[in-house]
Chain A
Amino acid sequence: MVGTTTSAGGLFRDVKLIGESEFHGNVDCLKFTNTGEVEVNGSLKAASELKVTGECTIRGSLEARRLRGRGEIKILQGLRGEHIKFTGNIDTGGDCEIDACELQGAFNIEGLLSADHLELKMFGPCRAREIGGTALSVKRSKASKLLSIFRSSGNAGLTVDQIEGDRVQLEYTVAAVVRGKHVTVGPGCEIGRVEYGETLTVHKSAIVKQRVKQ
């Protein structure tokens, strides 16, 4: 579909959109490619791949095996997938559950962000209620310093209530509780309480109020 289009939604094989599109119901497809702006008034399911360049709003939940692209994704409910590689902004109203997650940019997750492998490079403010998984790495992107000169909309940093993982590496993170086996607290962190199993490394500029070894 090219141009300004609307569709009722339904079952598709491949969906390719260029321009401004709107779906009035659930969309269930194999592959979904979008360049431009798309709004789904329902849930979107892409059995193999979802590629977004531009803006994507989903009023239901999103399920995609692979998700990649750049731009902005807004989901009112949860996000589920196997592999995400995305640059830009992600907003979800529910949980975000992905096996392998590579994010550059910013996000706001109302629920739990759960991943086996999480690699986060922050450009802007990131928020989640909880983060949990196996290997979690949170870093500030090198370009964010440059960007912060032009923008004033909050610093690149992560705010989260609780982080739990086996290997946790953090930078510029404000968290109430961090639990993990191997924990590395990098520069710019403010952690209320760290509970660690084996190793804990704390950067000299980081604040950790309470350290508990288990």
Chain B
Amino acid sequence: MEPNLISKKELLDEKGISYGQLYRWKRKQLIPEDWFIRKSTFTGQETFFPRDLILARIDKIMNMKDDLSLDELADQFSPLLPEYELRKADLMKRNIVSNVVIERFASVDSDSIVYTFERLLYFFVADKLLHAGDMSMEEGERLLQTMREHFPKFEGKACDLLFARKMGVSSFALLSVPADIYYESGVKLIARLSMNECIEQLKAKLM
């Protein structure tokens, strides 16, 4: 058995949830379709899930389901970009991304400019990588450029951001998932961020 997968039965036992709940959450699209991995075992077909993803998601659902309706939860988890806009002044006030990022990448924009969710997401990703100490300011510029140019092409489909470096030269790439990628030796993968996860985190921060 692959260690990073969990079978449906184990999941139900571990979390104390019923089949009904699981199917209901799936129906409400709280659990993405591509997490349901069907495999043959000696007892016939069984369904498996990516262990870390599903456990975190179930915890989140169980914590939030008392405060939010299932439909509201579904909006939270949906990879679609919400129609959300925020003025630059509010962005700074609410401390969603650090001021360093705003000063560096948005200094030309006036305070009254309105950012779409997409633009906020780009700042958020840059902020994340800068904070982790993975990326330099100059690379940040290139990151934003890459995102602006290529991210809309995915049209809401799940994608990952790859950030790799070889002999000090860095490069960014956007990759639709699920996909495996292998590099030549000497390339160091510095970060791989799931955009859907970033969208989710940013949504939680904004709401």
Task: List the interface of chain A (C-beta within 8 A of B).
Answer: 97, 99, 114-116, 132-135, 161-162, 164-166, 176-177, 179-181, 192-193
Residue of B nearest to A181 (CB): B18
Q: CA of A179 to CA of B18 in the docked complex: distance in angstroms?
A: 11
Shortest Cβ distance from B28 into chain A, in angstroms? 9
Q: Is the CB–CB distance between A134 and B19 below 8 Å?
A: yes
**Total number of A-B contacts with CB less than 8 angstroms?**
50
- Taking A114-B27, A181-B19 as known contacts, 8 extra A-B pairs with beta carbons closer than 8 A to each other, sorted by chain A number, are A114-B23, A116-B24, A133-B20, A134-B18, A134-B19, A134-B23, A177-B45, A179-B19
Of the four ranges (under 10, 10 to 19, 20 to 34, 35 or more), the interface on chain B belongs to 10 to 19
B188 CB–A CB distance under 8 Å? no
Query: Which residues between 71 and 91 of chain B lie within 8 Å of chain A, taking CB atoms?
Result: none
Q: Tell me whether B44 and A162 are in contact (CB under 8 A).
A: yes
Q: Which residues of chain B have a CB within 8 Å of any CB of chain A? A: 8-9, 18-24, 26-27, 43-45
Q: In angstroms, how far is the closest chain A Cβ from the Cβ of B42?
A: 11
Q: A116-B24, A134-B24 are in contact. Are A180 and B19 (CB under 8 A)?
A: yes
Q: Which residues of chain A come closer than 8 Å to B8, judged between CB atoms?
A: 164
Measured CA separation A132–B26 after assembly (Å): 10
Q: How far is the CA of A134 from the CA of B26 in the complex (A)?
A: 13
Cβ–Cβ contact A177 & B44, under 8 A: yes
Structural contact, A166 and B27, CB atoms closer than 8 A: no
Which residues of A have CB within 8 Å of B21? 134
| Distance between A52 CB and nearest chain B CB, rounded to angstroms | 22
Smallest CB separation, A36 vs chain B (Å): 31
Q: How far is the CB of B46 from chain A (nearest CB, A)?
A: 9
**Is B43 a contact of A114 with CB atoms below 8 Å?**
no
Give the docked Cα–Cα distance between A133 and B9 (Å): 15
CB pair A114–B26 under 8 Å, yes or no, is yes
How far is A191 from B132 in the complex, measured between Cα atoms in Å? 54
**Bound complex: CA A111 to CA B45 (Å):** 14
10 contacts between A and B (CB under 8 A): A99-B24, A114-B27, A115-B23, A134-B21, A161-B45, A162-B44, A164-B19, A165-B20, A176-B44, A177-B44
Residues of B within 8 A of A99 (CB): 24, 27
Contact A134:B43 (CB < 8 A) given known A97-B27, A99-B27, A114-B27: no
B19/A133 in contact, CB under 8 A: yes
CB distance from A92 to the nearest CB of B (A): 15
Closest to B20 in A: A134
Q: Are A133 and B23 in contact (CB under 8 A)?
A: yes
Given contacts A134-B18, A166-B18, contact A177 B23 (CB under 8 A): no
Closest B residue to A161 using CB positions? B45
**Chain B residue, CB-CB nearest to A179:** B19
Tell me the bound Cα distance from A9 to B10 in angstroms. 47
Shortest CB-to-CB span from B8 to chain A, Å, is 8
